Every structure is written in structure tokens, then in C-alpha cells.
Chains A and B, each alone.
Chain A
Amino acid sequence: MTTPSEPASAQTSPSLTSPGQTSPAETSPRAVAIIARKELVESLRDGRFRALAVSVLALLIAGLVAGSLETRQARQAIDSARAADHDTWVGQGPRNPHSAAHFGHYAFKPRPVLSALDRGVDAYLGRVVWLEAHWQDPFSLRPAEDRTALQRFGDLSAAFTLQVLAPLLVIFLGFAAFAGERERGTLRQLVSLGLEARTLALGKALGLGAALALVLVPAAILGVAVAVVTGGGAAASSWVDAALLVVVYSVYFAILLGLVLAVSASAKSARGALVVLLGFWMLSTLIVPRLVADAAEKRYPIPTPRAFYSAIAEDEARGMGDLGSRAERRQKLEQQVLAEHGVETLEALPVNFAGLSLQASEEHSNLVYDKHYGELWRLYLGQERAHLWGAALSPMLAVRALSMAVAGTDVARHRHFARAAESHRRELVKFLNDDMTYNAGDAAFGYLADEGLWRASPTFEYQPPGLGQVLGRQLPALAWLALWLVIALAVAVRAVGRLQPLPGVSS
């Protein structure tokens, strides 16, 4: 799953091999292969590495299987809830269309197939939204609310294991790669054989990458398989998405391997290398994400529910812009409608005024919601961008953003669905108001529509965004990841170039 080909292409390029050198110091593929093999064998013989590798693989498999089962179950539950909701809607009996609009119906957020691999922020966002007249509701029933405080420790999903735990595997695998050999004095001997440091580094990178691949390749294959199994019929695009995730995580591990080798090559002792790397791990997985969340919260403060909904109520009552208060708006509408139809009284109108008035108030509310929810989404998405600032210190944050986005469990996907659901709500409410306007006659709220109307009402079919659109939004995260890869390779090459074979001397 790692991409050791990166250093390979850099190292075998002729410009890096000193010309005219005929000693065995030349970077020969043979020497690289011998070193890589020795590193692999050594890693596999190391009981601690074996234990750690088996644990990580076991956690990954458990996470994938549990995630797949849970996701399938959730998808089925959503399907049956949708069907039941439709039945209830159709079977609500004769009713005034506006009363039906109040009864409304529910939109159920679909669970993307790849949420089996990465739950993202899914647990902290509601699963359903009530689509009713007058009100744009927030999403409710957040899965996290039904979980205990244990959730605060993390969830052992495949994504968590890959982002947080697997880096430790890379660290334990490689921290002693150079520092350990130097302490044992073997590095001195290797270098005295006429081996170039670069050859050594390339061999080590390949060997350690291979050891890592023994854990990550099975996990990757299983991950793709899980995507197919979980998705059932909808597997076609999940394949591509899952493969893309494999690439993202491969780059992540290549970055980590580069950093680990760089630190090991430049640290004074193996212990020092381990301390530095563990410090980096702690910073990038535990501390920076929290600090960045705080900073994002300060930069884009989310209003309290009280402030948010009272601002909406205020705009509703006063009216947006210069539209005037509720009573004024109603009076204006009345005059306008009477003028349009050239009649004197509401009773003389060929249409039902209550329906028109409801729709007008609905459209005014939509302006209010566009303003406030638009602002709320601006803040959420601002926070999402702010979290990427942390990627400067923690490549994990870039990987997390990409992983969530591709899995379809990020904030942007939620907004995409929320917008679709809201425009459906508006369409549905307008459909019901129009029915009242044109069919209620004088009966107004006494008018009852029947099943025919419920069946004819617009249905909600959600189309998730394509991969291109998803990645288009993730260009900053992709850029961070690419930058980290370049940095990791550069520091690795630099540190190896200055490799100091004698113990007790820092380079």
C-alpha cells in the first residue's frame, strides 16, 4: 500500500550517482535489493513489529467488518423508513393541503457505501429532517446522542485505525533504521564497505515499505471488497471511490515513512529518534486537531440555538429588507392581487386568497432561511477550511478531510443533501399551496384534498455529487498532501545525504 516507487525514481536517476565512480559505492539495484530484503527479514523477525502489525491488521479487519455490517443495516433501515414515510404520506386521508403541509414528511439522509470505512462527521449530524410548512428545521437524531461518553475516545473505524494507529506502526518500524545501526556500530561497517548512504536509504525505504505493505495491502483489498459488498447493487462507483481512498492512504504512509527515515538518519540516538517521532505523532493526531477545532470555532463562531432561532423569528416578524411587517406584507399582497384580477373584494377573486397568502409568506420565509441558514453553512464550511490550516502541522488533517469527502461523510456532503431536501420542501409546500389556491374555492381551510393529491405530490430523489465535484472542493487538502509528500521526500534525501556513520556525533 505504500508507494516506495517515489524514492526509487529519485534515487536511480543518473544525476545523483557521482560520475566516474567505479567502486561498489555506485547505487546498484542489486545492493538496494539486498538491503531491502535484509530490512524486510529483520522486521519480520522482530517480535514487537509482528505483534504490532498483527494488532493493527486485526483492528483494521474488525473495523471494516463492523463498519460494513453497520452500514448495511443503516441503509436498510433508511430504505424501510423512507418507504413507511411515503406510505404514511399517501395514506394520511382527506385533509386540507395546508394541514398536510404541516404534517409534512421526513427526508432521510442516505448512508454512503463508504461510510463503512470512514464515518467522518456523520455521527454528529442529524439523520433526518422534517420537511414541514413554514419551518426549515435542523437535522435531528444525531447518532452520537445515543452513544455513551466512550465515543469521546474515538471509534476504531478503519479510518481511525489508519489515520491514528497505523502511523505508530510506521514509527516503530523505522525509527531505528539508521539511528539503531549507528548505535550498534553496524552503520560504520556498512559505510566502510563502500556503500553509499543513498543506496542504504533506498534499500531501507523499500524493505520497510514492503513490511508495511504486508499489513496494508490485505486491508486495502478487504476495504475495496467491503465497499462492494456493502454497496450491493450500487457498487460501480464505490469501487472507484474505494480505490481512490487506497491511493490517499498510500500517500499518507509514504509521507510518514519519509519523515521516519529522515528523523532516524539525523537523530543522535535511536531513543532520540523515537522520542521525536512519538512527539510528532502525539502532536499531529491528538493535539493539533483539537487546537485547530478551537481556533476554527473562534474564527467562525456558531451561534447558540437561542440566538439563531430568535434572529429568524425577528426577521420573520419585521420582514426582510423593506418588505415590512407581517401585517403590512399581507396588506400589500391583498392590494396587489386585487389589482391584478381587477376586483374589489377577496371573495370576488377567481382563486383562493388563503393559498396565495400562504405561498407568499412561505416565499418570504425562504428569504429569511436563505439568509440565516446560508450564514450558518458559511460558518460550518469556514470551519472546515480552518481545520485544514492544521494540515501544516498534521498531515493527518489533510488525509482526514480527503477521506471523509471521498467516503461522503463530510460537512460538504451533508450540506449538499440539506440543500436538496430544503428545495424539495419548498417545492412540496408550493405544490400544496397552489392546490389550495386553485382548487379550494371559497372553502379555504375547510377544503379537503385526497389521496390523489398526495400521490401526485413531488417525491424526493437525492442525487449525490460526482467524484469530480467532491475532489474539486478538496483541492486544498490535495495540495497539502502533495506538499507533505514533497517535504517528506526532501527531508529524507537531505538527512540521508548528511548521514553520519559514527555514533555520538550528530549530523
Chain B
Amino acid sequence: MILTVMRHEWRLMRRSPVSWWAAGLLLAATAYALAGGLAWQQERADEAVAIAETGASMLAEQRASAAEDGGAVSQARTYAALPPGPLAAFSVGLADLLPKHAEISIWRRPDTLFGRYQLESPLSLLAGRFDLGFVVLYLLPLFILALSYDLLAAEREGGRLSLVLTQPLSLPGLLAAKLLARLVLLTAFLAVVAAAAALAGAVPALAWPRLIGWLAVAWLYGALWLAVCALVAAFARRSETCAATLAAIWLIAVLVIPGLLEAAVGTLRPVPSRLEYVTAMRAASSEASQASSELLAQYYHEHPELAANGEQGGFLPAYYASERDVERRLEPLLADFEQRLVSQQAWVERWRFASPAVLAQEALIELAGSSQRRHRQFQHDARAFLADWHAEMSPRIFLGQQLAPADYDGLPSFGFSEPAVSRQHFAGTVAGLTLPALLALVVAYRRLDRFEVAS
């Protein structure tokens, strides 16, 4: 029986130009997004490799020229590069905005190692990316609404519903069959996406669990929209009412609530003014440079072992000592920013349940590896790398030593520790999408008792 209805629904869709248009547009958008995503992933991967190679070759050159008289510590420079996320082709997230490489040398401080990266076109950033995440978050629900906005109302208005229900078929049974027919299409669509992405090489070997998670979130998000269609179908009498209600719900969930949350998080969890930070940094630099000779003396006082060769002074040690003083003074400010950004993100993660679109977006970019969290991990790792670099170099600066060729082999190297997807976060997303869907279905089911079959 249910199969009969499902087959019938598919046949109706095949006969309707609207569903062909909708499906055509969705598939075209998906193909376009996937192609764009693949190109972006490739570019990012190439760039990360190129940056890492540049860093390595710079060190190799210095090593080669260091063969005779030793290499200058001040010249030793390398890069730390962030590889693209495991599913970078799926969601660009914040990856186009945040720094993806760091310059490592004794001239850099934790607040200046990311610099000269802000070239991305502001207009592109404003427009947003046409990636698979966009297709899933915005277009997939619209596609679902286009095929399901009048699950019952149109049949009722047409007077067909009464005829259909004179057959031994319950109204909830009919609705369930209609929903199932669409759920099968949703599943097929995501299967096609997965297959296309896999064939196109968008999924690295170890990213399969992430891909499954990504598809699961997209599926649950689509299923939730279907459940919302069922809910509206059970309440609204006319198909125009259904369409208007669903359009309003889409608008509120996808544009208004995220916008309000964005405004709220800026107000409730403000990040301190970066301009004040600049002011503090300038003041610290100025004071430190004016006091650099005392700072240097103090440094040698604290590290008598470095004063061994008796040559105390010179531009580099003085400058270096003043820079470390600036670093020390800015540390609490930098930590404050860090902590505020973390608490901002935590706030969003608590409130993401307010809209399925936010819930899905957070999960999709987390799984794709383009979230703020991953970029913060990179910043953290790059700063740790810089700290190692300084630890390696600072004794040489104060002792006035050069780097012998062999020393280059012992220099610290950069490794990015890919953060695992939090199980708790994922479970929260699944629950946050599933429970409202079930609730909507239960309410719709109960409401169907009072549904007027004939107009």
C-alpha cells in the first residue's frame, strides 16, 4: 500500500515540470559547487605544499651557504603552512578568511607571525561561497519545500483527497508514504553527491568517517525540513497558506535567526577592541626599545651562562631582548583575545540549537575541517613552533654564535595536529536535528485526527 503511494508520488513528480526544474537546478548547483570545491581544495593543497617547500628550500640554501662561515641566526627563516581540511571541497567555512600560513624567524612574535595574508577579495568574502555547504543549507531545503509544500492541501483543494481516502488508507498512512517517497529521493541525492565526490577524488583516504558524518548531517537536516512540511500540511487548510508558512519558516531559520544570533554574540560576547591592542602593542614596543639596553643587561643578569663569552651588547641581542619584553607584556592581552574568541564560539555552540541551519552549518564546517576551531588549532601549533624556534635560537643570539651546517638539521619542524571531531558536538547536532523532526511528526500525527478531508 505504502509502496503504491510512493510509486504514485514519484510518477506525479515525473509528470510535473516543477519537479524537473527543481531537480535540474539542484543537480546543476550541486555539480557546480562540487567542481568549485574541488578546484579550491586543489589550490589550497598546492599552496600549502608550496609554502612548506619554500620554507624548506630557504633553510636548505642557508645551510649550503653556511658551509664556510656558519649561517646567521637572524637569516634563518621558514614557514608553517596549514593543509586544507580533510573535506575542504565540501565547505569553505572560514578557511578563506583566516590565516593559513605563518612566518617563523627570530623577528616574529606570537602576535606577528601571521602577517601579509589578507589579500582575499573582499567582494568574494562578502558574497559568500557557492560550495556544497551552501547547496545543502540553503538550496536543499528550498528544493524539499518546492516538492513538499502541499503534501495534503493541494489534494484536498482539488477534491482528490476525499476520493483517495475512500480507499482503505488512513490519512497518517498516506502522509507517511508521501514523506517516505521524498526521503528516498533525498537519500538518493546525497548518495549521488557522495559518489561524485569520491570519484572526483575529493575525499582523502582517512576522511571517510568525516564524509559519512557530513552526509548524515545533511540527511538529517533535509529530513527535518520534510518533517516541518508534514507539520504544516497537518495544520494548514490551503496550499497557499502552506507555501507562505513554509517560506516564512525557511526565512526565519536560514536568514533571520542566524542574523540575530550573529548580532547577539557580538553584543553578549564582545571581542576586545583590536585597536586598543594596537595601542598597547605600540606603547610596549616604544617603552621596550627605549629601555633596550637595560633589558639586555637584565637578560644577561638572569642568564649568566649566556654572558660566557663576555661580549655583551650589539644591536641584535638588545633588539631581541626588547622584543621578548614586548612579547611578555602582550601575552595577557593575546590570551584574552584567545579566550574571548573561545567563549564566543562556545556561546554559538550553545545557541546553535535555535536554528537547524546554524546547527547544520556548525557541524558541516567542523566535519569539513574549515571551522574556526581548526584554524585556532593551527594558530596554536604555529605559535608553539615559533616558541621552539626561539628556544633554539635565543642562546645563539646572546652568545653571538652562528648556525653550523649540522645545526640546520636539528632545527624544530612544523607539524599540524589535525583536531578530531568532537563526538559530543556531533551527537548534539544529531540530537538537535532528530528530536525536533520527531516532535514535528508526532504533533502532525496527532493533529491529523482533526484534519478536514473535504473542503
Contacts and interface: CB of A to CB of B under 8 A. Distances in A.
Report if A and B touch in the complex (beta carbons < 8 A).
yes
Interface in B235-252: 239-240, 243-244, 247-248, 251
A88 interface: yes
Interface in A123-149: 124-128, 137-142, 144-149
18 contacts: A70-B266, A81-B273, A85-B278, A92-B290, A126-B118, A138-B118, A140-B118, A146-B337, A146-B341, A149-B365, A150-B348, A153-B361, A154-B255, A164-B255, A274-B243, A275-B146, A376-B119, A380-B121
B358 interface: yes
B274 interface: yes
A207 interface: no
B285 interface: yes
Contact of A137 (B116, B121, B261, B266): B116
Contacts of B97: 124, 142, 144-145
A148 B276 contact: no
B127 A293 contact: yes
A293 B128 CA distance: 8
A149 B244 contact: no
A286 B124 CA distance: 13
A54 B342 CA distance: 36
A189 interface: no
B447 interface: no
A308 B119 contact: yes
Interface of A: 48, 52, 55, 59, 62, 66, 70, 77-78, 80-81, 84-85, 88, 91-93, 95, 99, 103, 105-106, 108, 120-121, 124-128, 137-142, 144-156, 160, 164-165, 168, 172, 270-271, 274-275, 278, 282, 286-287, 289-294, 296-297, 302-306, 308-310, 376, 379-380, 383-384, 387, 411, 414
B125 interface: yes
A149 B362 contact: yes
A144 B118 CA distance: 11
A290 B262 contact: no
Contact of A139 (B118, B240, B254, B371): B118
Contact of A153 (B290, B337, B357): B357
B262 A103 contact: no
Contacts of A78: 275
A409 to B, nearest CB: 10
Tell me what chain A mostly uses at the interface: helix, strand, loop, or mixed: helix
Interface of B: 18, 29, 36, 47, 50-51, 54, 93-94, 97-98, 101, 115-130, 134, 138-139, 142, 146, 239-240, 243-244, 247-248, 251, 254-256, 258-263, 265-267, 271, 273-276, 278-279, 282-283, 285-286, 289-290, 337, 341, 344-345, 348, 357-358, 361-362, 365, 371-372
B442 to A, nearest CB: 27
Nearest to B352: A150
Contact of B119 (A55, A84, A146, A303): A303
A300 to B, nearest CB: 8
Nearest to B340: A146
B118 A294 contact: no
A412 B438 CA distance: 51
